[in-house]
């Protein structure tokens, strides 16, 4: 299917859905739930249906995840155009990309607790943000676009909020009750097995829950290809891995007005890889003969909350929580390398080497949220306000061990120190204070809802130098820093009639420079290939976002079409700066003057039983996302280029799904078609391509992905009311394809491109027994 066919078929389905929804102008109540009946808390910090929110929000429930056979966050968003997750054969899942914004510009939370930021460089250091097992998930909410007014400075690109399950999700509404379940599954794409056991209980006013999940996996398969070693290897590098996740909750209803709870999370994962694709590669002047890795990550959290229904003059309800969290990543690379030493009379020396790297974040977070409703004159008000206090300490250390060394050629002798510890950035402590105020104002008998909001954030950063020794000319570069900002937003939802409504929102974003951008340094002496230079004087990023949309919601179904325009200032990107002593240049994160992202999104659901008389429970789902980003870039010759494409923008994507759920709820199926257009050369900038800064196997123009179409088929069946069987076939027609986010930064001449392909035809099956 060529790109024009993809665009035509996508638009045809979208138009058909819009026309069909428009056809229902009668004022009839919904007989079946629609997309707009889903509930979000993250968008407004209050519980609201999507129909009442002045921005585009996507909600994925635990039930959705089970039906789609989702195992991780990438699976959760694969049918959500405009949201993508990168992946890497060694480090697994990486950054979440929301409308072209990724990395630390997208806030990730679990039960409102900020998750650790990403920190990484090249092939050896990648501190991921995927410390959450979705078996613990009640819902995932994605707020698209800047959300700093309600969620703080690191939400300039959006929010991905996970909400964990509570004991009440498994128990009867009232009275003493107990619940237990066992679930097991298999997925062929990475030969993975997973097992989950859950227990829940209510005795009197005490509720408890415990969920444990174990996963064992191998490498995720690429599309066919050959094995072998070196950069041209097409198969994924061999890998074995496992993870353990434990979620426990205790909640107690003290009386009619007060409820308290305690939450504990424990998650650890381990992988070991044979990095065959690295053999023979040369990066930064180092030739790799062989390499293996041993990586571990863990996250531990302990939290307490208190809910109070006060109904006093200051607030009707209040909830405060206190959480301690520790996130830790340790990555070991064992390799045999040949390094060139000396300048005038170079000597090649072979070493056995261990690179032992860790990154850790420890945080304490206190949040309090209050709400108050009242009426004034001809308006209703629902005021939400709150305060957050957070302290985060970020630590990193790279320990490199060398063997004695063997001279391969040249006149010299081995000159490496056997042990060299170093920090790539200082130990940093950030103290954050934020408070916000929002008022949902109902006018015209609540047909018009205006939602203004304002927030203040202050960040105080202090650094500890110790083993961090940068080449700074400015002795004050590591002094304490303070950033603060006021951000505001205003949204409106207008109910045109019982079917149609319109919405619009303006919001501001604010994001402080992260530790990696300000302080990361990889400095090789003059005459060697590369220097990654720190920049502690970066300014915060700022944004202005505009969003307008139209919704329809009736017994026929629902739809939403949204247009957005985001304008970013002081945008931070790594660029090349002039220095003739470095063959591959000097790289530094700098504030680029501007960047803009604009786009249009559509999503809709049509009940085919209401529309065309199909069997009850038959539905058609459609989602389409198109966006375009432009900004300033600096070329390798240090020239400044205006209006260059942003490579973080994904191609035009459409998802069309035909589904059926039997009225008895004992079986159902979904057939899903995913259409992705090719990445056009006009949408690719060659100026900011990162070819691993000296990788001799990666030169040439940026690789542009082709368009493709995928067909997935999933089904569930309940042979007994307590037993559910789920099964799925994915990429049913065995299509070869690449995700754009996985290959951006790789050239069309890179020998290992096929190693980045997604799996061919694969299947998944799971069985759940509830007691």
89-139 pLDDT tens trace = 888 888 889 998 888 889 999 999 999 887 766 566 777 777 889 999 999
Is 25's pLDDT higher than 50? no
How many other C-beta atoms lie within 10 A of the C-beta of residue 624?
A: 24
Kind of pairing between the strands at 586-607 and 531-533: parallel
Q: Are 633 and 645 in contact (CB under 8 A)?
A: no
Report how far residue 391's alpha carbon sits from residue 326's, in angstroms, rounded to the nearest whole number: 12
Give the DSSP H/E element, type plus range, for residue 14.
Answer: helix 3-22
In 3D, which of 293, 226, 155 has the Cα closest to residue 752?
A: 226
Which residues face 549 on adjacent strands?
A: 503, 562
* Per-residue tokens: 598: 């604009």
**Torsion angle, CA of 342/345/348/351, rounded to 10 degrees?**
-30
Long-range (24+ apart) CB contacts under 8 A made by 697-700 are 697/231, 697/232, 697/281, 697/282, 697/750, 697/751, 697/752, 698/231, 698/746, 698/747, 698/749, 698/750, 699/747, 699/749, 700/747, 700/748, 700/749, 700/750
Burial of 324 (0-12, 13-18, 19+ CB in 10 A): middle
Give the DSSP H/E element, type plus range, for residue 741.
Answer: helix 740-743
pLDDT of residue 387: 96
Give 52-111 as a DSSP string. Answer: G-SS-EEEEEHHHHHHTT--SHHHHTTTSTTEEEEEETTTEEEEEEETTB-GGGEEEEET
pLDDT of residue 14: 42
Banded pLDDT at 530 (limits 50, 70, 90): low
Is 28's pLDDT higher than 60? no
For the segment 668-678, the average pLDDT, to the nearest whole number, is: 96
561-617 pLDDT tens trace = 999 999 998 888 777 776 656 666 677 888 876 889 999 999 999 999 988 999 999
For the segment 24-49, the average pLDDT, to the nearest whole number, is: 64
All residues at 6 or more sequence positions from 356 whose CB lies less than 8 Å from its CB, including other chains: 330, 332, 398, 399, 400, 401
pLDDT of residue 637: 63
Give the DSSP H/E element, type plus range, for residue 289.
Answer: strand 286-309
pLDDT of residue 464: 84
321-339 pLDDT tens trace = 999 999 999 999 999 999 8
pLDDT above 70 covers what percent of the chain?
89
Banded pLDDT at 5 (limits 50, 70, 90): very low
pLDDT of residue 123: 64
Is 747's pLDDT higher than 90? no
Q: Are 299 and 325 in contact (CB under 8 A)?
A: yes
Is 309's pLDDT higher than 70? yes
How many other C-beta atoms lie within 10 A of the C-beta of residue 344?
A: 5
Which stretches within 589-714 are classed as H helix?
Answer: 608-612
| Phi-psi category of residue 581: left, alpha or beta, with phi > 0 → left and psi -120 to 50 → alpha | alpha
**Torsion angle, CA of 694/698/703/709, rounded to 10 degrees?**
-120
Report how far residue 343's alpha carbon sits from residue 526's, in angstroms, rounded to the nearest whole number: 9
pLDDT of residue 301: 97
Is 504's pLDDT higher than 90? yes
Q: Are 551 and 51 in contact (CB under 8 A)?
A: yes
Q: Are 678 and 732 in contact (CB under 8 A)?
A: no
Report how far residue 225's alpha carbon sits from residue 288's, in angstroms, rounded to the nearest whole number: 22
Torsions phi, psi of 433, nearest 5? -120, 130
For the segment 63-81, the average pLDDT, to the nearest whole number, is: 91
pLDDT of residue 209: 98
Banded pLDDT at 522 (limits 50, 70, 90): confident
pLDDT of residue 767: 97
pLDDT of residue 578: 65
Which residues face 705 on adjacent strands?
A: none
pLDDT of residue 695: 52
Give the DSSP H/E element, type plus range, for residue 39.
Answer: strand 39-40
Give 385-400 as a DSSP string. Answer: EEEEEEEEEEEEEEEE
Which residues face 383 on adjacent strands?
A: 372, 439
Q: Are 587 and 574 in contact (CB under 8 A)?
A: yes
Give 311-362 as a DSSP string. Answer: -SSS-SEEEEEEEEEEEEEEEEEEEEEEEEE-SSS-EEEEEEEEEEEEEEEE
Give 290-324 as a DSSP string. Answer: EEEEEEEEEEEEEEEEEEEE--SSS-SEEEEEEEE
283-307 pLDDT tens trace = 767 889 999 999 999 999 999 999 9
Torsions phi, psi of 627, nearest 5? -150, 160
**Residue linked to tokens 């109540």:** 29
Banded pLDDT at 56 (limits 50, 70, 90): confident
pLDDT above 90 covers what percent of the chain?
58
What CATH number does the domain located at 3-354+365-403+425-770 have? 2.40.170.20
Per DSSP, 747 falls in state B
247-266 pLDDT tens trace = 999 999 999 999 999 999 99
pLDDT of residue 692: 45
683-696 pLDDT tens trace = 888 775 554 444 54
228-251 pLDDT tens trace = 888 888 999 999 999 999 999 999
What distance, in Å, lies between the first and last C-alpha atoms of the chain?
47
Report how far residue 572's alpha carbon sits from residue 539's, in angstroms, rounded to the nearest whole number: 9
Q: Are 650 and 624 in contact (CB under 8 A)?
A: no
Average pLDDT of the chain to the nearest whole number:
87
pTM above 0.85, yes or no: yes
In 3D, which of 130, 123, 65 has the Cα closest to residue 95?
A: 130
Is 716's pLDDT higher than 90? yes
Q: Are 187 and 178 in contact (CB under 8 A)?
A: no
Give the DSSP H/E element, type plus range, for residue 20.
Answer: helix 3-22
pLDDT of residue 284: 66
pLDDT of residue 149: 80
pLDDT of residue 698: 56
Give the DSSP H/E element, type plus range, for residue 200.
Answer: strand 192-203
Is 395's pLDDT higher than 50? yes
Higher-confidence residue of 352 and 582: namely: 352
Higher-confidence residue of 128 and 628: namely: 628
Tell me how long the chain is. 771
Task: Report which listed range, 76-90, 541-555, 565-579, is most confident.
Answer: 541-555
pLDDT of residue 29: 39
Banded pLDDT at 398 (limits 50, 70, 90): confident
Give the DSSP H/E element, type plus range, for residue 503.
Answer: strand 500-511
């Amino acid at each position: 299917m060529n790109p024009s066919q993809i665009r035509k078929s996508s638009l045809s389905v979208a138009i058909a859905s819009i026309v069909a929804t428009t056809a229902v102008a009668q004022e009839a109540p919904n007989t079946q739930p629609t997309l707009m009946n889903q509930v979000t808390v993250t968008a407004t910090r209050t519980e609201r249906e999507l129909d009442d929110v002045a921005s585009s929000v996507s909600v994925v429930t635990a039930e959705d995840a089970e039906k789609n056979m989702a195992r991780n966050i990438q699976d959760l968003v694969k049918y959500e155009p405009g949201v993508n997750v990168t992946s890497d054969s060694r480090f697994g899942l990486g950054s979440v990309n929301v409308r072209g914004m990724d990395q630390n510009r997208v806030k990730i939370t679990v039960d409102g607790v900020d998750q650790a930021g990403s920190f990484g460089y090249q092939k050896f250091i990648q501190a991921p943000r995927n410390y959450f097992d979705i078996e613990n998930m009640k819902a995932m909410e994605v707020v698209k676009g800047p959300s700093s007014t309600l969620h703080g400075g690191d939400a300039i690109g959006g929010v991905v909020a996970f909400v964990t399950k509570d004991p009440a999700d498994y128990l009867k509404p009232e009275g003493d009750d107990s619940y237990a379940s066992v679930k097991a599954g298999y997925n062929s794409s990475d030969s993975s097995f997973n097992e989950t056991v859950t227990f829940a209980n209510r005795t009197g006013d005490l509720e408890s829950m415990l969920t444990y999940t174990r996963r064992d996996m191998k490498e995720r398969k690429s599309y066919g290809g050959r094995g072998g070693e070196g950069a041209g290897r097409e198969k994924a590098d061999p890998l074995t891995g496992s993870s353990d996740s434990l979620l426990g909750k205790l909640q107690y209803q003290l009386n009619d007005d007060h409820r308290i709870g305690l939450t504990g999370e424990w998650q650890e994962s381990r992988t070991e890889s044979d990095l065959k694709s690295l053999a023979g590669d040369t990066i930064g002047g180092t030739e790799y003969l062989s390499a293996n890795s041993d990586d571990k990550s863990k996250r531990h959290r302990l939290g307490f909350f208190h809910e109070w229904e006060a109904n006093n003059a200051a607030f009707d309800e209040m909830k405060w929580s206190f959480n301690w969290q520790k996130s830790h990543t340790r990555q070991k690379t064992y390799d045999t390398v040949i390094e060139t030493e000396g300048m005038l009379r170079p000597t090649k020396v072979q070493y056995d080497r261990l690179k032992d790297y860790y990154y850790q974040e420890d945080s304490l977070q206190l949040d309090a949220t209050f709400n108050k409703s009242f009426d004034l004159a001809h308006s209703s008000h629902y005021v939400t306000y709150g305060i957050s206090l957070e302290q985060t300490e970020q630590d990193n250390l790279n320990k490199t061990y060398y063997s004695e060394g063997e001279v391969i050629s040249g006149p010299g002798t081995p000159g490496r120190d056997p042990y060299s510890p170093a920090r790539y950035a200082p130990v940093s402590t950030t103290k954050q204070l934020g408070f916000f105020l929002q008022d949902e104002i109902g006018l015209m008998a609540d047909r018009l809802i205006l939602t203004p909001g304002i927030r203040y954030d202050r960040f105080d950063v202090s650094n500890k130098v110790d083993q961090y020794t940068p080449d700074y000319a400015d002795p004050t570069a590591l002094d304490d820093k303070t950033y603060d900002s006021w951000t505001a937003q205003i949204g409106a939802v207008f109910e045109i009639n019982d079917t149609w409504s319109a919405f619009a929102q303006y919001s501001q974003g604010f994001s402080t420079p992260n530790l990696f951008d300000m302080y990361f340094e990889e400095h090789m002496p003059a005459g060697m290939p590369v220097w990654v230079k720190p920049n502690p004087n970066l300014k915060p990023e700022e944004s202005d976002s505009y969003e307008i949309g139209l919704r329809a919601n009736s017994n026929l179904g629902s739809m939403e079409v949204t247009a957005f325009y985001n304008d970013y200032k002081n945008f931070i990107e790594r660029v090349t700066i002039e220095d003739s002593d470095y063959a591959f240049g000097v790289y530094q994160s700098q504030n680029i003057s501007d960047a803009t992202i604009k786009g249009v999104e559509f999503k809709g659901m049509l009940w085919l039983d209401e529309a065309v008389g199909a069997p009850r429970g038959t539905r058609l789902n459609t989602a389409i996302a198109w966006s375009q980003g432009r900004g300033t870039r600096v070329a390798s010759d240090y020239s400044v280029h205006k209006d260059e494409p942003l490579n973080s923008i994904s191609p035009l994507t459409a998802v069309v799904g035909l589904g059926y759920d039997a009225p008895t709820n004992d079986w159902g199926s979904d057939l899903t078609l995913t259409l992705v257009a090719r990445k056009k050369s006009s949408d690719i900038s060659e100026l900011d391509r990162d070819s691993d800064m000296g990788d001799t196997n990666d030169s040439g123009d940026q690789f542009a992905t082709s368009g493709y179409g995928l067909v997935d088929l999933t089904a569930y069946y309940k042979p007994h009311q307590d037993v559910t069987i789920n099964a799925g076939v994915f990429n049913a027609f065995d299509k070869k394809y690449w995700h754009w986010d996985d290959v951006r930064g790789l050239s069309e001449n890179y020998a290992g491109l096929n190693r980045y392909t997604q799996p061919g035809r694969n299947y998944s099956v799971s069985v759940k027994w509830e007691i």
